[in-house]
Structures are given as C-alpha cells and as structure tokens.
A and B are shown apart, each in its own frame.
Chain A
Amino acid sequence: MNQSGAESFLGLCLSSLSISVEGLPRTTVISTGQHILIEGEDEDNPYVARVIRLFGDESGKQKKAVVQWFVRVSEVPPSKLKLLGREPHPQEIFYYQGRSCDDEVNAESILRPVQVIVGPLGVQTDLTALCQTSTTHTVTSAEAGLDSDDEVVMKKSRHAAAGSRTPRSKQKSRSSTRTPRKTPNKKVKVQTDAFLRWSAPVVSEISLPVSSLCEQVAPGTPRTPRHATPSIPSRSLPARQPANVLEEARTRLHVSSVPESLPCREQEFQDIYSFVESKIIDGTGGCMYISGVPGTGKTATVHEVMRCLQHAADVDEIPPFHFIEINGMKMTDPHQAYVQILQKLTGQKATADHAAALLEKRFSNAAPRKESTVLLVDELDLLWTRKQNVMYNLFDWPTRRHARLVVLTIANTMDLPERIMINRVASRLGLTRMSFQPYSFKQLQQIITSRLNKVKAFEEDALQLVSRKVAALSGDARRCLDICRRATEICEHSSADPSATGLVGMSHVMEALNEMFSSAYITAIKCASLQEQLFLRAVIAEFRRLGLEEATFQQVFVQHQALCRVEGLQPISVSEGLAVCQRLGACRLLLLEPSRLGVLQRIRLNVSQDDVLYALKAD
C-alpha cells in the first residue's frame, strides 16, 4: 500500500482519462469528480465509485485512479441494514468509509461512467441504465415517503460498511486476471452514448487499447473463505414419499424420526423437568449427572424436556432461558468445549484459552436482566483431561452466585464421577444423579407400537420376538428399531409369493435377527479354500501336540506338509504357505505377529478349536 502511494506521487498526474468501451468506435472520457462503474465479481452489479484523482506511473503505461468507494444495498450485510431504520431503495448507494479497501484502481478495470443522482437523503445511482428521465422518476418516487435526515443515513451506512466486508481487496485481485470481454449488447451501447453527452470536456486524451490489457494478466490468488456458510447442496428432485404400508412403517421406525411422545421414560422425564424448571424459576444453578448404556433414550429425553420447557417459556409460564448443547464426541479436543459454548452463547469466535477467560467473566459477574442458561454436555467422559480443568470449570460455574447456569451431563457409566474424577471435581458435580435402565421387553414393544402409531405392518408375535431378543441382549432401542426396519425389507422381498399376508411375520424377523447377530466365522471357514482349511487343521494339530495355544509358523508348516501328504495333495512351498497364513490372518480367523517375522511369526486361533472342527466336519 505504501509503495503504491509513493508511486502515485512520482507518477504523472492527469486531469482526465479516456477509456474505450468494447464494441464502441469512440473512447469514453472520464474526468475527476465523475462517478464510474468498476468491474467486480458480479457482472451485473459492478462496483460504484467516484473518481478523486487520476494519474499514471513514470513509465506512463499504467494508468490509475484514486477513488471514493460506494456500496450498494445488496453489499451491506442484512444485520447492519436494520440500523438504517427504513426500507432502502434497491438502487440506493451508500458512502463507504472502511479502511480495509485499497482506494487505488487500475484504469482498465473501469467499465464506464455512470450518473448518480443525489437524493434528499443520500447518494443514489441509476444502474439499470434505462433512459435518464425514467430513472429520475423512479428515484424521486422512491424517496418521496422518507423522512430521516441525510446525516444519519451517512453515519449509519459508514458504520454498516466498516466491519462488514472487504470487497475492494477481492476486487483488486480479480481485476488483475481480467480478460477482454465480449462485445456488449445493444442496450449498453445506447446507455453509454447517453452518458457521453454528460461527460466533461476532453483535456488530454490517453487512449488505452483494450488488447494491451492482456499483457498484465497475472495468476490471481484464491480468496480465503471468511464467511463460508456450512451447507449441503439441496437436491434437484424432491425426495419420494413412502408409497405403501411397509415403507410408511420403515420411515416411522427409523431412529431419526422424532416420535410424538417418549413412552416408558415418564418418570425420568418428570424428574429432569422439575429439576431444570425449579432452577430456572429460582434463577439459581445446578448440576445433574445422567448415566445409562447406549440407546436408552438419555439424550432424547433431555431434548424432550427442553422442548417442553421452551414451550412453557414461550407462553410465559417460566422465565425465558438459553439452551445450548455440546457433545464430547463432536469436538477434537476437550478445550474446544469452551469455544463451542462461547460461540453458541454469544456468536463470538475465540481461541480456547480466550474463550475460557470470557466465559469465566460472564458467569462470575452480575449483570442486569440475565437469562438462565441450560447447558447439556453429552458424552462427558470425553472431556477428561489430565488436570480435569474443563470438567472443573463446567461444574464450578453453576455454583457462582450470578451464573444462573444449569448443567446436565450425560455419560454411559454410572460410576464415572468416582472412577475418573478427582475429589474437587466430583464434589462440585454433586449428588443429583439419575440412571437410565436398559429397556425391558415390554417397554421396547411399547416403543415400537407407539412409533408405528396404528400403521398395521407387524404381526403381534413378531414384535414380541424382536423386543424379547433385544431386551435379553442389550436393551438398546436403536437395535430394536433397526431390526424391525430390516424385517420390513425382508418382508417386501418375500411378498412376491402369494401365501404372504403382507404383514411382517415371525419368519422375517427371525431372518433379520440371524443376519444381525450371527457371527460369520463358521461360514467363513466353510467357504475358505482347501489349503486354508488344511492350514487351520494343521494349527489345531500343532496346538494339541504342544499343549499350548500358540505356535510358530515353522512348526505349523511341518504339520501342514504332513496333512498335504495325507490328503494326497502336492505339498506347497513356504512362500505359498505364508500367503495362505496371511489370508487367514487378514480376516482374523488367525491372530498373527507382524509379517516381517516370516517363518518365525507366532500364530494363535481367533475362534475356538471346536468351532473350527465343527465347520470343517460339516462339509
């Protein structure tokens, strides 16, 4: 910046500049004080500026202009636009005073002059380039009803522009990569003619042929995305809706579908609800620890509580509150918790240390009209650090007088506070604990029935089988729903035969259960190649000989050669034997030492000997 400033002093000052607009036989002349359009990212909406000074550098090749920038309505962020206090005209422009933009532009990036009409309030320009009279007409009619004064608008717009953007730095990099454009259409031609009439008399002409611009083409540096919005592109065709009963059932049974109510967790719901509600009403803080094995509805229940409380706050039954949620698994480092809390509370971005300091200040200082905050910390065990300061802070803040913070923590193990927390942390967590028991088969059945909500897709027995099976294994509701979903698919496939009722029956559920819970080891051994099967037999034979559950490859290989001879096969070479062994190791039928040990690597079985023998005998 400094350098270019110095150049401008050295350079030859010009009082006017002529540029040629493509497709026009004549050159357009620009003089100081005139408003111009400058090429930007958006072809249809170029930047607007007023020329303050024109100059060329020593060599006389590069012509530059010092400009005063203006911003369009569309460039002002919506949050700042509100400060204006009135509806801006779509073609209105605002005075820009941000320091972040270079006010020097190359002459070749100037598109053409433009007429700006100063309205009663601010500066305005006609950009659509209709005929001059009609423009004036539009502007005056738009401005007629406005009553705020000029000074205010200018100030506000300055404010708006200051923190919002850096369009000129972007524009600068872009203009350097500019390529000559195609012939403008007829409309532009008419318009430029109109402005030529308006432009100041020519004093000295320096014409810049467009073709010479190509020499200055340099590779542009890509922009750093600052305000990238996280989003997945939306689909071009809408998603298809479920067409039949089974598809409908499948949609309802997907874990992601939010149920109308949460059955079987009424007691827990009530406890959490009253705990949080009382804290919010009293304006105090507190901690609660919720534990339970995966898939027992911990997070779902808390979310349900929050939905109800939010509703209560909306109808003014309880004071309004903030709800924020963090998850130990969804951050890369425990200290990121501070960053995420701060961002969700205030929208600020900060480093972990800074965020911790800001939060500390926020929760320890008194402030008028402060809302309560409810913080849900999921997967608490992941926030463990050696000094445990993240956990310590999370549980310490609610005890502060002015904090008004309620912390709900969720983890899988019941004795987590005793096991991993040091005394001062565990003591601050307090004794408000709750544990979610795994679902019993009756509860699971009720959950499925309530989700299906009168969609008749399952036979009663089939439902009972699923819930009993899952309850016996884990009591995980997710598993239960997944099995039911798979069963509907199997049912759909088998519905081709006429005897089927169209409902999901016992056989379908059995098939789904088998698919999900049976181990593939035995089938894998049955499907292995002959040499692989022989090798497994050799392993067992060697184990029996040694009386140990471990042998080196060399030892097993001797047995393998013997077995080959017994079976009447050509003995295999060591390399081939090793390859067979590696294949079995890759699918974890065998456990192996690293393969660089070659013939010395030790071998163990990953399946029981009985299973291997059973699988081999069955052929």
Chain B
Amino acid sequence: MQAVYLLLGKRNCFHKLTLILIYILQLWEHYGYCSQKQSLFRHLLELLKRTAVHGESNSVLIVGPRGAGKTMLLKCVLRDLLEEKEAQKNLLQVHLNGLLQTDDRIALKEITRQLHLENVVGDKVFGSFAENLAFLLEALKKGDRSSSRPVLFVLDEFDLFAHHKNQTLLYNLFDVSQSAQAPIAVVGVTCRLDVLELLEKRVKSRFSHRQIHLLSNLTFTEYLERVQTQLCLPDDFPDSKFAQDWNDSIQTLCEDKSVEEVLQRHFNSSKDFRSMHMLLMLCLSRVSVAKPAIKPADLLEASRLCFADAKANMLHGLSILELCLIIAMKHLNDVYEGEPFNLQMVHNEFKKFLQRKSNSMYNFDQPVIMKAFEHLQQLELIRPADGSSAKTQREYQLMRLMLDHSQIMEALQKYPQCPTDIKQWAMSAFG
C-alpha cells in the first residue's frame, strides 16, 4: 500500500482521500476487542482451541443484540486461533447462515460442499437429500477424536435453523458433538435472548448449554473514545505529517461541544457500533481536497440525515391533492379515534373543507381523487384494514393511515410553498 501511495498519492490529492478511507475502513474491520470483553474472548478462544488441538467436541451459543460485535468476536477469536500452527493445519471450517440456508436440504449440500467430501465434484453435490444426510453422518461417524481433523461449524442467525423441519440438522450436529465421533465445534450466533426455548427438548438436552452473552455496558466516555480512535489515522500511514494534522483535527473535533451533543444523542438512541459507523461514514464522505478535515458542521449534517424521518420525507414529494387527502384522513382519525375509513368518507371530509372556501382551485373530479388515493396506497402511506375483502368496491374499501400526526405536521412545516389555508385546515382541531 505504501508503494501505491508513493506512486499516486503525492501527485494527486484525490488519491490521498481514497487512502484515508482505506486506512480507516481497515481500522474498523480489524478493530481489536475491547478490554472488557477479554474474559468472553478467552473463553471462546480456549473452547475452540480445545477442539482444534485436543479434539474435544463442543457447542456454544453467542447471544447479543444486533451490532454488539458477536461476529466480530468470533472473527477475532478465529484470527488468533489460526495463528497457531497446530490449529491452522487441522481445523476445517463450515460457515452457514440461517438467512441463506433456509432449510436442511440446502444446509446439507452447503456443508458437504464446504467440507469437500467425496460426493462433491467441482461445485456440485451429488445425491438426494436422504443420501446426503446419510453420507455426512457416516463420514462424521467414521472419524474419531484423535485421528480426524476437527470441524468448526459456525451457524449465523442460529434461531432460524431452529425453524427447520424437526430440527434435524441441529439434532444431528449436537448429537455428533456429544458422541465419540469426529470432533466438531458448533458455534451458533444469534440475537434472540430466548433462543434456547426454540429448541426441542431432545435437541436442547444435547446442547451443552454454554452461552456467551455479549451485552455492551459501554459508557458515553468510552463511546467518545471509540469514535476518536476509529477516526484517527494509524501510525503506519505513509504521510506522517498529514496523519499528524488529521489526528489533531479529529482531537479538536471530538472536544467540540456541539459534536459531543450529537454523539450523546446517538449514544442514547443506540450503542450499536454499526449505526455509529454509518454516521462516521457520512462524515468521511464529506471530506474533500479543498477541505481535508472533518468539521463539526459535517457531523451535524450527517446526524440530521441519520435521524430524518423517512415517512415525513416521502410526504414532501406528494401533490397538493394527495396532501389534502392525508389531512382529511388525519381529521377522520381524530373524529373516529383511529377507526378505518374509506375513500368516500375521505372525499366527503375534503368536500367539507372546500365548501368553506369561496374559490374552487382544489375542485377535482372523482376519478382524479381516486387516482390520488391509489397512489397513496402504492406508497404504503395507507393500507387496507384487515378483514376487508378485496371484493368490495374500491371506493368503499376500508383503509388505515400509516402515519403519525407528528409526522404529518412536520412534513407540512417543510413542504415547499404549502398554501396557507391548507396549513390552517391541518392545524384546526376539527375538520
């Protein structure tokens, strides 16, 4: 990478920006594990090491909310594990994901493929579902603790595997891990705290009940430090003077009062590292050749983008007529306390508003209103109420509004050139 920098970086500032991005993203990817998670890290590492080195079968679940670093923990452990020669030479790995392997048939093919068993040619796995299962079980059964290579099964989105028919795959994996066959380690990764309740009792009995709960009790100061370290350029950055300037600017950025406020707000909302990265990425993307530093204003802007309400933004793109219909629906919701409505009711409500006005600039025909109504449905701003059959005429089909009042009011404030009378109508207590 240094060579790349020397080739391009000095001549063209643009490449320097790319390089900053590369370095920082690398930092995010290879971020070492925080010290407070050390005990969990050691637990998992030793567990897997025993499988790799001693051939002891194990099973473990890593549980924690989304973005808490479950996969990162596993990745760091595997990286450390594979540095050891004894483990690296022996360990076979199988990675499955509940979102990809949606049933046991697919999962079995994938396992066979990743293990390169003998019924695999190229990328194809031969045999029926039943044959594949029998083949895999036979293969695992033939192995034994001391002579076969240990296999590591990583099941991402573990809870989804529990929905497979009869939980055949889980039963068999756990059964192998509890009997004298080829040594395997089953590592499940999930965000569901109630995952054990999903397992059938005979499957549950075979699971070792080791759970690693990954919950972050991060404080705000730690969060702030983390933001700073994640934005700083590492020491091996080719242009040390630039790195120094950059790091100083990050330092001042993090000490800024308004920045701290924004980060506090993010921290309050979620401790998830992924959402933090999202925010920082938006900031980084605003760095340019003319302005090679992150300014507090960038962070404020990024935060505004992150917190923007999606539905309210959609309302800005509606026509005046569609907006009027939404307001009419809001009034109907107020009057009938959230009961569903149909097109006729909305149209009546709208007509009442028009009658109070002398000018008729919003006078539309029924078909036009119908079209607008359908458009709203397509945008999923309204949706049919449950139980209303599709057979009823479209004018009388019962609908519900998918917006909160606060969203409508917010959108009206920002709507470009919104007529005053419509604004007033929306604010008035009664239609």
Contacts and interface: CB of A to CB of B under 8 A. Distances in A.
Interface of A: 222-225, 228-242, 247, 250-251, 254-258, 293-295, 329-333, 336, 339-340, 379, 382, 412, 476, 478-479, 482-483, 485-486, 489, 493, 515-516, 519-521, 523-524, 526-532, 554, 557, 561, 569-570, 572-576, 579-580, 583, 586-589, 596-600, 606
A575 B309 contact: yes
A478 B178 contact: yes
Contact of B150 (A235, A526, A569): A235
Contact of B309 (A528, A574, A580): A574
B193 A587 contact: yes
A516 B211 contact: yes
Contacts of B380: 596, 598
B193 A239 contact: no
Interface stretch (B141-149, B360-368, B414-422, B423-431): B141-149
Contacts of A331: 130, 133-134
Interface stretch (B13-21, B24-32, B234-242, B268-276): B268-276
Interface in B307-335: 307-312
Nearest to A250: B56
A587 B192 contact: yes
B124 interface: yes
B277 interface: no
Given A524-B65, A576-B269, A232 B168 contact: no
A418 to B, nearest CB: 20
A254 B215 CA distance: 29
A480 to B, nearest CB: 11
Given A230-B136, A529-B268, A520 B193 contact: yes
A596 B310 CA distance: 14
B35 to A, nearest CB: 16
B279 interface: no
Interface residues of B, number: 98
A524 B193 contact: yes
B387 interface: no
A225 B205 contact: no
A527 B124 contact: no
B65 to A, nearest CB: 5
25 contacts: A231-B117, A231-B118, A235-B149, A235-B150, A240-B86, A242-B54, A250-B56, A255-B179, A330-B168, A482-B210, A516-B209, A526-B215, A527-B217, A529-B269, A530-B269, A572-B307, A573-B307, A573-B312, A574-B312, A574-B404, A576-B307, A580-B270, A586-B192, A587-B66, A587-B191
B11 interface: no
Considering the complex of A and B, which 5 residue pairs feature the smallest CB-CB distances, nearest first?
A294-B205, A228-B118, A230-B139, A239-B55, A527-B215
A302 B179 CA distance: 15
Given A527-B217, A583-B65, A588-B193, A293 B201 contact: yes
Interface of B: 42-43, 46, 53-57, 63-66, 86, 89-90, 92, 104-105, 115, 117-122, 124, 126, 129-130, 133-140, 142-143, 145-151, 166, 168, 171-172, 175, 177-183, 191-194, 201-202, 204-206, 208-211, 213, 215-217, 265, 267-272, 307-312, 338, 380, 383, 400, 402-404, 406-407, 410
Contact of B166 (A232, A329, A493): A329
B206 A222 contact: no
A90 B375 CA distance: 83
A379 B133 CA distance: 17
A257 to B, nearest CB: 7
